[in-house]
Amino acid sequence: MGENIEIKARARDVGRQREIAAQICDSGPELLEQTDTFFNVQAGRLKLREFASGDAELLQYERPNRTEPSKSRYSIVPISSADALKEALGAALGILGVVRKNRYLYMVGQTRIHFDEVADLGDFIELEVVLSPGQTDEDGAAITRTLMQRLEIREADLIDRAYVDMLSK
């Protein structure tokens, strides 16, 4: 299982914040057009992510609904038959919701910076600090806070829930 420390925030000035990301990044931006179908599960979250390229992956993850930098544990499985899997999981578990977004991915060291244009919600920023073996949660949180400052993300911008939860409200 992978682990990262992450935050999600509303983008106050997405143009400026993307300019800053471009100045500090090691690579990017890479455009990823994604459709995430979430399924009803008892623990954590389960989603099928489909890319415009035709690729797909099943993601299971657990992350608390908190605004501060928090640990997420996740598993990712490449999928070759997305339509068949979506039908089977939908029949067995039920579909919680669908999130469509354009994601602009920038890499800064071990951190994935996502600028998400989410259909029916607006513009957001996610920071995901992928923890290396031996790194503590505090190490990841410190990297997150440094990048929040550099990208002009304020505490008031932080959100404590997933896009699918925001869409269902």
Residues above pLDDT 90, as percent of the chain: 96
Domain boundaries of the chain, sorted by first residue: 2-168
Report the predicted TM-score, pTM, of the whole model to 2 decimal places.
0.93
What is the Cα 147 distance to its own chain's centre? 16
Domain 2-168 part of CATH 2.40.320.10: yes
User: What tokens does 142 get?
Assistant: 């410190």
Note the pLDDT of residue 168. 85
- Determine the average pLDDT of the residues in 111-136: 96
Note the pLDDT of residue 142. 97
Write the pLDDT tens digit of every residue in 7-46: 999 999 999 999 999 999 999 899 999 999 999 999 999 9
Write the pLDDT tens digit of every residue in 48-105: 999 999 999 999 999 999 999 999 999 999 999 999 999 999 999 999 999 999 999 9
Q: Are 145 and 9 in contact (CB under 8 A)?
A: no
Note the pLDDT of residue 17. 98
Give the number of C-alpha atoms closer than 13 A to the C-alpha of residue 123, restricted to the C-beta side. Answer: 11
Question: Chain-wide mean pLDDT for the chain?
Answer: 96
